[in-house]
Amino acid sequence: MTVLVAGAMIVRDGRILLGRRAAHRRICPNTWDLIGGHQEPGETVERTLARELREEIDIQPLVFRKIAVLDFTPEAGRPLHYHLFRVDAFEGEPRLANAEHAALAWFTAREALALPDLASVRYRPMLEAMAAPEAGR
């Protein structure tokens, strides 16, 4: 059975919100990651996205679009597809709403690319695409 995950590249004022995964997390502890989580039975990935953002950082996505589906099967050891959404507008102010993350911080794409403890190298193409316009500033 394929596991589906929805994650958000939340963008505001040209910066991306990342969460520092808590030390007790089994997968990628103490790394900077996108906010998201596993799909529950009967959910669409869009509903999963909305639920996870509400549960983890207490926001509601208003304007978002799917930008990638990443195959994490080799790392997970089972079929796992990560549906990545870019969120350009949301209701609420991001805050830690549960114990999954230890911190939240906004980064430019270049700053995120420079993090030595980014949760996955698979985020790099999306971050590089976002960083390209920064070079012209």
* Domain ranges, ordered by start, for the chain: 3-134
Return the half-sphere exposure (C-beta side, CA atoms, 13 A cut-off) of residue 113: 13
Instruction: Tell me the CATH architecture of domain 3-134.
Output: Alpha-Beta Complex (3.90)
Write down the pTM of the prediction: 0.91
Report phi then psi at 24, rounded to 5.
-85, -5
pLDDT tens for the 137 residues of the chain, in order: 888 999 999 999 999 999 998 888 877 778 999 999 999 999 999 999 999 999 999 999 999 999 999 998 887 788 889 999 999 999 999 999 999 999 999 999 999 999 999 999 999 999 999 988 654 44
CA 105 to chain centre: 12
